[in-house]
Amino acid sequence: MNEAVFRVLARLGLDAKPFKQEKVIELVKNPLSGAWVTVYSHHDAADGRPSVFACFADLARKQEILAGDDWLKHASSFSPGFCVCADDVTYHDGRDEGYDFIVAEQYFYPLDQAQILVNQEFVMLFELYRGEDGCYYSVDKCGEREKVVDFAGDEVRVRTKYILRFIAAKQCFFVYFVDARLASSSNYPLGSTECISESDEVGGNYHIGQWYTSDIDEGYLLSMLYARSFIEPDDVETCGVWPFDEKNERYPEFVIGERPDGSLVRYTCDPNKLGTYFDKEPRAPHYLTPVFFKPAVLDKYRSSPHFDVSERHISCGSQWRCEIDNVDPDRVMVYLGDLGRDLPESERTHFLSFEMSPVDQRISDEVFKTDLLNMWVKDPSGPVSMLMRARMELDKAWRKRFGLALYRPFHRADEGILEQIHIPSGNGEFEFESVTMALTRALVDYIDESALKDADAKGSINKLEAFLSGNDIVIDLKPLRDLQNLRSAGAAHGKGSKYDRLYGDVVTEDHREDAKRLIARLTTMLNELTEALKPADDRKE
């Protein structure tokens, strides 16, 4: 700013600071200073808001970038096509001049609309997921989303850390172009204007040009700023992409023993630091050292649709799977080495908060036989697995006897219903009622009444009982009726006298034990019905 600019500001009664555009200059010099960076924006009004465009550039373009302040590239600069020069026709991919877009613009003139496209190499390198809102998200190993590319009105923002990771991986520049204007009035003067001040600043990574123009009467002032800048990449090892993604992975220590004084023995879960059967002189705990956790450690996974949880494993889609031992529902066991090899780093931290002392804990017989003795175990021993097997065997026996399945296939909205059946980790009413609802839907609501021909009764259980009676099969269906009553008198409606009548026999103050008892009764009933359906010669003695 020179004397002429200050004179116009004084004449108009304006503060000089906004017209210096200091914040814009700071942005130009360090465009990646915040958690987000705007890579595309366009503003027609001279209100001080900068129009920006960012792209990537080869490292060889450094001097070219510093040579001027106007925009070398725009969002529409990257369209592929042919170039004709005399008789020579050459195809160009739009990115063969050493620059590549972060977002590019395609304009459809018949529609008078523009469409913004995101660099697909950027999208694919970080495996970004496009949400229904059109924005792009990173998805971690547990299905949690983090927004990376945000479309907000006439702006596109990108999470800065992903820009830094990309230029490190590709070893290229992040280039920033800025056009910022601030006028004393929204109305451009009718007469001619002229430049009254001009400056040019070149630094190690930027080139800024700034002009001030005014009219002859000094009744108008316009501050204009054009700039280019670039950010250099860090070492490729900082990109966080394989094989540089596990460099700083943390392996916490878990409890593997308890000393006589009550202090706990801990050891790292890093599988590379654990003993194996092939060590001649093992100096570290074995990979298969059991580590025990409170059953509530699984609640997080059961409450999320991203995970599949059973008595023998936790998995998150096809991303990861960790074998567990929850056959005994009072604890969860995971091998020390599996905690380090199979669990994502974030989930190890989660497991740490549910540690148990291994005193008085043991591996279940089923897991001991399958994992350590390499034996095939025909029948599961976990309460939920036994129930699921009983339901499956009943369906097979019913189909063999009557030609139809007893249970309808699950609707797609209920495909995960069996995974909701578990022994509650605590004594809470809500979790118990959720398990009750899941059991009722799986064992009562999905009974295929079309398989119960000529059953003169109303309701699935009554029809089942009438059908069995008509085929000379006598089975006590009380566990199913208790389950239905629990749902109708408690979980699905306000509690009252009907619920009180269930107290003592079906429900107590210990809902965890109630669930165990209910699942055991249902399993026994399903197995009895399966046996009753078999021909006399095939039944168990």
Calpha distance 33→231 (Å, rounded):
11
Bridge partners for 36 per DSSP: 159
Per-residue buried b or exposed e for 101-121, using 16+ beta carbons within 10 Å of the residue's own CB: bbbbbeeeeeeeeeeeebbee
For the four alpha carbons of 131, 133, 138 and 139, in that order, the dihedral sign comes to negative
Return the pLDDT at 6.
Answer: 93
Q: Are residues 271 and 215 part of one domain? A: no
Residue 479 near residue 486, CB atoms below 8 Å: no
Q: Mark whether 202 and 280 lie in a shared domain.
A: no
**376 within domain boundaries:** no
Q: What is the pLDDT of residue 247?
A: 61
Residue 359: the pLDDT is 95
Q: Is residue 120 part of a domain?
A: yes
Question: What percent of the chain lies above the pLDDT cut of 70?
Answer: 96
pLDDT score for 441? 93
Residue 291's beta-bridge partner residues?
334
- Paired tokens of 91: 């195809």
Q: Is residue 494 over pLDDT 70?
A: no
Of the ranges 146-150, 264-268, 490-494, 517-521, which one carries the lowest mean pLDDT score? 490-494
If asked whether residues 108 and 216 sit together in one domain, one would say yes
| pLDDT at 500 (0 to 100) | 67
- On whether both 392 and 323 belong to a single domain, the answer is no
Identify the pLDDT of residue 538: 64
Residue 242 lies in a domain: no
φ, ψ at 308 (rounded to 5°):
-115, 125
Residue 263 tokens read as 């202090």
Provide the pLDDT confidence category of residue 152 given band limits of 50, 70 and 90: confident
Reference 441, options 457, 472, 420; nearest CA is 420
pLDDT of residue 274: 94
Which tokens go with 333? 């066991």
Cβ atoms of 156 and 41 closer than 8 Å: yes
Strand partners, 290: 335
Whether the per-residue pLDDT at 491 is higher than 80: the answer is no
Residue 149 belongs to domain spanning: 3-237
pLDDT at 537: 62
Angle, alpha carbons 284-287-290 (nearest 5°): 105
Judge whether 370 lies within some domain: no
- For the record, the structure tokens of 148 come out as 């990376």
- 369 domain residue, yes or no: no
pLDDT at 8 over 80: yes
| 263 inside domain | yes
In a domain, 243, yes or no: no
Residue 40: half-sphere exposure toward Cβ, Cα within 13 Å: 25
Structure tokens at 356: 């148990």
Residues 228 and 260 in one domain: no
Same domain, 122 and 221: yes
User: Cα–Cα distance between 206 and 225 in angstroms, integer?
Assistant: 13
Complete DSSP assignment for 485-535 = HHIIIIISS---HHHHHHBTTTB-S-HHHHHHHHHHHHHHHHHHHHHHHS-
- CB atoms under 10 Å from CB of 397, counted, come to 19
For residue 433, what are the CA distances in angstroms to 141, 349, 421, 519? Answer: 30, 29, 11, 13
pLDDT value of residue 102? 97
pLDDT confidence of residue 265: 96
pLDDT at 248: 72
- Per-residue pLDDT averaged across 310-332, rounded? 94
Instruction: Using the 3D structure, point to which of 333, 363, 393 is the last residue of a domain.
Output: 363
The domain boundary, picked from 309, 330, 363, lies at 363
Residue 495 banded pLDDT, cuts 50, 70, 90: low
Q: What confidence tens digit (pLDDT) does each residue in 182-217 have? A: 999 888 887 788 999 999 999 999 999 999 999 988
In a domain? residue 368: no
Looking at the DSSP bridge assignments, the partners of residue 199 are 210
Confidence class for position 159, pLDDT limits 50, 70, 90: very high
pLDDT-derived band at 458, boundaries 50, 70, 90 = confident
Greater pLDDT, 253 or 412: 253
Indicate yes or no: pTM above 0.85: no
Angle at 415 between CA 413 and CA 417, to 5 degrees: 100
pLDDT of 498 reads 67
Interacting residues of 158 by C-beta distance below 8 A, sequence separation 6+: 36, 37, 39, 102, 148, 149, 150
Q: In terms of domains, do 152 and 281 share one?
A: no
> In the chain, what's the furthest Cα-to-Cα distance?
113
Burial string for 472-493 (b: 16+ CB within 10 Å, else e) reads: eeebebebbebbbbbbebbbee
Determine the pLDDT at residue 33: 94
pLDDT tens per residue across span 36-71: 999 999 988 899 999 999 999 999 999 999 999 999
What angle, 0 to 180 degrees and rounded to 10, lies between the N-to-C axes of helices 460-470 and 478-486? 170
Same-domain status, 185 and 68: yes
Number of domains in the chain: 3
> Cβ(135)–Cβ(147) under 8 Å?
yes
How is 439-490 classified by DSSP, letter by letter? HHIIIIITB-GGGSTT--SSSHHHHHHHHHHHTT-----HHHHHHHHHIIII
- Is the separation of the CB atoms in 40 and 54 below 8 Å? yes
Query: Taking the CB of residue 132, how many other CB atoms lie within 10 A of it?
Result: 5
H-state helical runs in 94-212 = 120-125, 160-170
The domain boundary, picked from 174, 204, 237, lies at: 237
Residue 3 has pLDDT above 70, yes or no: yes
- Do strands 206-215 and 136-139 pair parallel, antiparallel, or not at all (unpaired)? unpaired
Q: How far apart are CA 191 and CA 138, in angstroms?
A: 53
Collapsing DSSP to helix, strand or coil, 328 comes out as coil
Number of neighbours of residue 182 by Cβ within 10 angstroms: 22
Residues 6+ apart with CB under 8 A from 59: 171, 172, 173, 232
Per-residue pLDDT reduced to its tens digit, 267-298: 999 999 999 888 766 789 999 999 999 999 99
Q: pLDDT category, 539, cuts 50, 70, 90?
A: low
Determine the average pLDDT of the residues in 129-157.
92
When pLDDT is averaged across residues 217-234 and rounded to a whole number, the result is 94
pLDDT in tens, 344-383: 998 999 999 999 999 999 999 999 999 988 888 888 889 9
Contact assessment for residue 104 and residue 74, using Cβ atoms and an 8 Å cutoff? no
User: Are 424 and 477 in a shared domain?
Assistant: yes
Taking all residues of the chain, what is their mean pLDDT, rounded to a whole number? 91
What single string gives the DSSP state of each residue in 364-389? Answer: -HHHIIIIIS----SS--SHHHHHHH
Is there a single domain that holds both residue 280 and residue 335? yes
Q: Are 334 and 473 found together in one domain?
A: no
DSSP state of 399: H
Instruction: State residue 109's pLDDT score.
Output: 74
Residues 174 and 37 in one domain: yes
Cα 19 to Cα 27: distance, rounded to the nearest angstrom = 15
Q: Determine contact, residues 475/525, Cβ cutoff 8 Å.
A: yes
The residue whose two tokens read 């020390």 is 336
